[in-house]
């Protein structure tokens, strides 16, 4: 079987409103962004592994059934960092990546990373970095391979590269008067209702989970300014 580079992502994440792929378009976008330089650097074909409800692809509904998870957002949350899976579910994921020289993923689920490591398949996980105010797109990179990380560190961007852009943004905002005087001592910045960053121990956190910590920080009578996403 010929080796190839596989571009993938969180194949298990559904949309909030329906059990359909939430990350398919993001994976396709990322594939188009990196396929040419990856092919030039390795000489290998660069292909995708997708949950595609319209044609051949990873059987995500079958995976949920094999793993005993409900086909919805709650099921995705339970699978995202699951400590264990059934043998059937593991086999399905292993088959999807069996001939990969390396898997380059856009926002891989934690369970995917562990399975790929267990299978001996090198993976590189790519996320859009929180620094989103510069002149170019910046990625945050993770991998379990020290040798791969050592090579990637050669392209590390220090904070000082982005400080002038942060200063420009701060200077611009400083000339915009607030809609009302801000007197609250604490600012809480919200996330979308469903996001991988909110998953802890198989559950999806919301603001109510942080109530005790907020009360401890500002007191029972303290006021908090909440900025909803985005």
Q: Indicate the domain borders of the chain.
A: 4-128, 177-227
The pLDDT of residue 215 is: 87
Cα gap 156→136, rounded to integer Å = 14
DSSP state of 169: H
Tell me how far the alpha carbon of residue 135 is from its chain's centroid: 22
Neighbouring CB atoms inside 10 A of 211's CB total 9
3-state DSSP assignment of residue 26: helix
203 DSSP β-pair partners: 200
Cβ atoms of residues 107 and 9 within 8 Å: yes
Q: pTM for the full model?
A: 0.88
The pLDDT of residue 34 is: 96
The pLDDT of residue 229 is: 86
Cβ atoms of residues 23 and 11 within 8 Å: yes
The pLDDT of residue 135 is: 84
Cα gap 66→89, rounded to integer Å = 5
Residues of the chain with pLDDT under 50: none
Neighbouring CB atoms inside 10 A of 20's CB total 12
């Amino acid at each position: 079987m010929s080796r190839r580079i596989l571009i993938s992502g969180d194949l298990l994440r559904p949309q909030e409103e329906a059990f359909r792929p939430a990350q398919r378009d993001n994976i396709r976008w990322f594939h188009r962004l990196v396929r040419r330089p990856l092919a030039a650097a390795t000489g290998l074909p660069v292909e995708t592994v997708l949950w595609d409800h319209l044609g051949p692809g990873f059987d995500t509904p079958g995976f949920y059934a094999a793993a005993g998870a409900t086909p919805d957002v709650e099921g995705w949350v339970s699978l995202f960092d699951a400590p264990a899976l059934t043998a059937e579910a593991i086999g399905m994921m292993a088959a999807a990546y069996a001939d990969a020289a390396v898997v380059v993923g856009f926002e891989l689920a934690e369970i995917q990373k562990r399975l790929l490591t267990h299978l001996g398949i090198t993976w590189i996980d790519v996320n859009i970095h929180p620094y989103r105010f510069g002149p170019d797109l910046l990625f945050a990179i993770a991998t379990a391979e020290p040798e791969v990380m050592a090579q990637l560190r050669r392209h590390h961007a220090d904070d000082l590269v982005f400080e002038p852009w942060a200063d420009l943004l701060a200077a611009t905002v400083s000339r915009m008067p607030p809609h009302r005087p801000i007197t609250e001592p604490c600012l809480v910045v919200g996330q979308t209702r469903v996001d991988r960053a909110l998953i802890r121990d198989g559950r999806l956190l919301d603001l109510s989970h942080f109530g005790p910590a907020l009360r401890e920080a500002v007191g029972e009578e303290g006021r908090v300014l909440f900025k909803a996403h985005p």
